[in-house]
Chain A
């Protein structure tokens, strides 16, 4: 079974600063996807960024980037130039390539200070 661990229950960041969220996972598969989802108080889960395990290059989406370390099974999310709208719960998730099921971590609550 795959497990996803987020060891930081809460993170706080000053507006315009950078924050990094940690995620580790356990799998015996070599081909899979990793995701970061954002869940604001509106409850809707929104995809922030995704990474295919076979790609060595780290994914980037505007102010969001990841540090994917496949050997270490680590997948951290960096939010640059933090904005008030970034405040939310962030979930790391794993999915095998030919599978349907997403396995989520417990989440990290991000607070942005004005």
Chain B
């Protein structure tokens, strides 16, 4: 069975641009969470979606948004990119809304120049 898949694996954007990151959860998993991991730090929670509804949001500006589709895949969107948005973005999926184990993808490395 395929694990959590994220695309793209790497990308480079210019300040002020917009970016969309994608995540496909493990088959049967209905919950997707997004984390931002700045180099040398632990991941920080951004969003959690369950059954296509936002169930939690971390301390991130409104430039960050996400959604979950009927097939439970998810997109993370970041507008008006800043240099400080450069990070590894991790997606995690789980069976339920957070009461079971979270399985992580390999992440998307975003570099803003």
Contacts and interface: CB of A to CB of B under 8 A. Distances in A.
Which among B31, B48, B102, B106 has the highest number of chain A CB atoms within 10 Å?
B102
Report, as a range, how many residues of chain B touch the other chain. 20 to 34
Interface string B74-93: 00000000000000101010
Nearest to A93: B42
Contacts of B72: none
Interface stretch (A14-22, A38-46, A63-71, A77-85): A38-46
Contacts, number: 61
A73 B81 CA distance: 38
B56 A44 contact: no
A99 B99 CA distance: 7
Given A100-B33, A101-B48, A104-B42, A45 B55 contact: no
B101 interface: yes
Contacts of B107: 43-44
A106 B41 contact: yes
B105 interface: yes
Q: How large is the interface on A (under 10, 10 to 19, 20 to 34, 35 or more residues)?
A: 20 to 34
A5 to B, nearest CB: 10
Contact of B45 (A44, A47, A102): A102
Contacts of B40: 106-107
Interface string A25-51: 000000000000100001111110010
Contacts of A95: 98
B42 A91 contact: yes
A102 B43 contact: yes
Contacts of A105: 42
A97 interface: yes
Interface of A: 4, 37, 42-47, 50, 91, 93, 95, 97-107
20 contacts: A4-B42, A43-B106, A43-B107, A43-B109, A44-B104, A44-B107, A45-B90, A45-B104, A46-B104, A47-B101, A47-B103, A91-B43, A99-B98, A100-B31, A100-B94, A100-B98, A101-B33, A103-B45, A104-B44, A105-B42
